[in-house]
Amino acid sequence: MIADAYLYRTICPTYTDSPSTHIIRRVFCLQVARTVPNAFQQRAMSTKSKSKLTSSPILSNHPSSLHALTPAKAALLRTHLTQWYLTSARPLPWRLPPIPYNSAPYPSYIHRMYCCLLSETMLQQTQVKTVLPYYKKWLQKFPTIQALAAANEEEVMAAWAGLGYYSRAKRLHQAAKHLLENFVEKEKEVPTSTEYWVKNVPGVGPYTAGAIVSIAFDVPAPLVDGNVQRVLSRLLAIHGDVSTPKSAGSTLVWETAGQLVAGEKHPGDLNQSLMELGATICTPVAPNCSKCPVRSECLAYGNLLRLKRKRKSVFGKVEICPGSIDVNQLPVEKPDLYIPSFYPFKPIKKAQREEIALVLVIVRGREENAVYLEKKAKGLLAGLYDFPTVLLDGSSGKADLETALNAHKETLNARTAGTTKHLFSHIRRTSHVLISDADDALDFIASLRKQNTSGKWVEKAHLEDVGVSELCLKNWRLAVGEEKESKTKPSKRK
DNA sequence: ATCCAGGCTA
DNA sequence: TAGCCTGGAT
């Protein structure tokens, strides 16, 4: 037990109890392990208690001061991070050299803000590589905030099509209008407080506000995105729940980010260095610690070194807060995979719900040159065009599906093109694609027009110009025979 | 085929 | 707290 506790202490720097309380602590750890280390989610949940989260996931007798940055350490981190950033960051079109707030002429500082708002909005939930072509195309189409504000919603949605999370496009459009109306048109200063942005600018939350204010305006506001959350969780070995903004882990991460950026000469660079580090080195899986500019300040990396030193003499299980792993299963050659990748602690994800859909591809013209699309007003894929779709409950049985399928085949004189599978964050959708000729669907289209007045014929060649989702494209490719049908039937759940 | 990452809002 | 999309890794 003593040995166990000793190991526990060496691995978890925030573990300060005496060995005699170790068992109690361990039980408590497991009870709160609704949020568990990244790398061991499945194992932890299959073998450990699934009891409810009953108290703060920050362990009792676990003062947050243990995670606090000392001023000396903060200074080291700032130096190492910014130096590394200046020499090693990827060159990206939205990266601007920092300039002091309002030292540029008004129009150029508004442009800075616009580019920053645009890139940061696109980068929400989306990787750099995906954003790059969209960002460039967007600026050609809407070169200024005035151009964006003046555009109509359909153009905006079409420019965003394929990027996902389409409400971002709608809100970016609203944001442009808001900023233009309240500041740019009057040549008024745009507020530099994150509170203003979060409260008044659509689509801007705590992260984006911090990004705009620090990067475009050079104001020392912190920012925490998924990268920063991971980097700081590892640097300070934060064993706290980061699943919601209010949870203890998140609070600590934001506080830490604030301490780091406070007094920094180039807050935008410092913030970007944290994100860049998370994106390129401090990655979720297999972080490249040997290349990390701040590994000597990193508690998780320190754990790793201690574990490597100890493991020769260790047999059996090593307790790692809050899970446990078998040291004999650690691959000797790559121990770096372990300790840093425990962080941050994330909640177990909920299963996606099943959906079955009938997708009606109605083709007009002998050369099949137009299809009937309608615009979704709300919910999933709102603002985009799509084929008329009949949604069946995922719980409806095979018989229901057959009934609906046959009914539509009959009324539309349709043939089956096959099925596609598409995943959303919370839905697994199987689409049964039916193709029919407009001549056979006149009554049906009339009834569609009554329910959804936005329906229109779109030429095959212009399908991608009107703003259409990946799901729609996938079904379209199947209908014209470019897409292989998904083989397996979905949800063969035992 | 399956799993994962990633901010904001109603 | 759940809804919202896609691309990349395994």
- CA distance linking residue A307 with residue A12, whole number of Å: 11
Chain C bases having any atom below 7 Å from a protein CB = 1-10
Q: Print burial letters for A208-234: b (CB count within 10 Å at least 16), e (below 16).
A: bbbbbbbbbbbbbbbbbbbbbbbbbbb
Kindly list the distances between the CA atom of residue A35 and the CA atoms of A41, A60, A63, A94, A212, in Å, as whole numbers in the listed order. Answer: 8, 16, 19, 35, 31
| Domain assignment of residue A456, given as a range | 353-479
At residue A85, the pLDDT reads: 97
A189 within a domain of the structure (yes/no): no
Which residue from A385, A435, A388 is spatially nearest to A415, judged by alpha carbons? A435
A1 within a domain of the structure (yes/no): no
CA of A27 to C1' of B4 (A): 29
Query: What percentage of chain A reaches a pLDDT higher than 90?
Result: 63
Type of residue found at A18:
S
Half-sphere exposure of residue A205, counting CA atoms within 13 Å on the CB side? 9
At residue A395, the pLDDT reads: 73
Please give the protein residue whose CA is closest to the C1' of the nucleotide C3.
A426
A417 within a domain of the structure (yes/no): yes
Angle subtended at Cα A131 by Cα A145 and Cα A113, rounded to the nearest 5 degrees: 30
Count of helix runs (H) and strand runs (E) in chain A: 18, 11
Q: Determine the distance from the C-alpha atom of residue A127 to the mean position of all C-alpha atoms in its chain, rounded to a whole number.
A: 8
Residues at the strand B interface (Cβ < 7 Å):
A 38, 41-42, 123-126, 164-165, 167, 171, 198, 202-209, 225-227, 229-230, 278, 284, 346, 349, 423, 425, 486-488
First to last CA, chain A: 42
At residue A307, the pLDDT reads: 67
The whole model's pTM is what?
A: 0.84
Torsions phi, psi of A318, nearest 5? Answer: -115, 130
Query: What percentage of chain A reaches a pLDDT higher than 70?
Result: 78
Residues A142 and A160: beta-carbon distance below 8 Å: no
A381 within a domain of the structure (yes/no): yes
**A19-23, A109-113, A294-298: which range is least confident on average?**
A19-23
Q: Which residues contact A279 (CB under 8 A, 6 or more apart)?
A: A128, A227
Q: Are strands A35-37 and A427-437 parallel, antiparallel or unpaired?
A: unpaired
Unique residue bearing structure tokens 């508004």? A110
Unique residue bearing structure tokens 């003062």? A63
Which residue from A242, A112, A264 is spatially nearest to A274, judged by alpha carbons? A264
Q: What is the DSSP letter of A316?
A: S
Residues A459 and A367: beta-carbon distance below 8 Å: no
Unique residue bearing structure tokens 């949940």? A45
Type of residue found at A14:
T
Q: Where are the alpha helices (DSSP H) in A354-490?
A: 398-412, 442-451, 470-479
Cis peptide before A107 (omega within 30 of 0): no
- CA distance linking residue A374 with residue A447, whole number of Å: 13
- CA distance linking residue A463 with residue A59, whole number of Å: 54
A67 within a domain of the structure (yes/no): no
Beta bridge partners of A355: A393, A429
Written as one string, the DSSP assignment of A208-246 is HHHHIIIIIS--------HHHHHHHHHHTT--SB-SSTT
* Residue pLDDT, tens place only, A36-80: 344 333 323 333 333 232 222 333 334 556 567 899 999 999 999
Number of Cβ atoms within 10 Å of the Cβ of A377 = 10
CA of A489 to C1' of C1 (A): 31
- CA distance linking residue A236 with residue A292, whole number of Å: 15
* Residue pLDDT, tens place only, A431-480: 999 999 999 999 999 999 999 999 999 998 898 889 999 999 999 999 99
Type of residue found at A333:
E
Q: Are strands A317-320 and A385-386 parallel, antiparallel or unpaired?
A: unpaired
Determine the 3-state secondary structure of A256 from DSSP.
helix
- How many separate domains does chain A show? 1
At residue A62, the pLDDT reads: 41
Unique residue bearing structure tokens 């989610």? A41
CA of A23 to C1' of C8 (A): 41
A48 within a domain of the structure (yes/no): no
State the CATH number of the domain containing residue A368.
3.90.79.10
pLDDT at A201 over 70: yes
**Which has the higher per-residue pLDDT, A284 or A345?**
A284
Please give the protein residue whose CA is closest to the C1' of the nucleotide B6.
A125
At residue A313, the pLDDT reads: 45
Which residue from A346, A364, A352 is spatially nearest to A457, judged by alpha carbons? A364
Element (H, E) at A147: helix A145-150
Q: Which residues contact A446 (CB under 8 A, 6 or more apart)?
A: none
- CA distance linking residue A300 with residue A335, whole number of Å: 12
Residues A392 and A440: beta-carbon distance below 8 Å: no
CA of A347 to C1' of C1 (A): 13
Residues at the strand C interface (Cβ < 7 Å):
A 125, 127, 129-130, 162-167, 244, 285-286, 350, 379-382, 422-427, 469-471
At residue A371, the pLDDT reads: 96
Average pLDDT, chain A: 81
**A244 nearest nucleotide via C1' and CA:** C1
Q: Which residues of A are marked as active site?
A: 120
At residue A490, the pLDDT reads: 46
Average pLDDT, stretch A268-296? 94
- CA distance linking residue A444 with residue A411, whole number of Å: 8
CA of A374 to C1' of B4 (A): 32
Average pLDDT, stretch A228-242? 87
Q: What is the DSSP letter of A389?
A: E
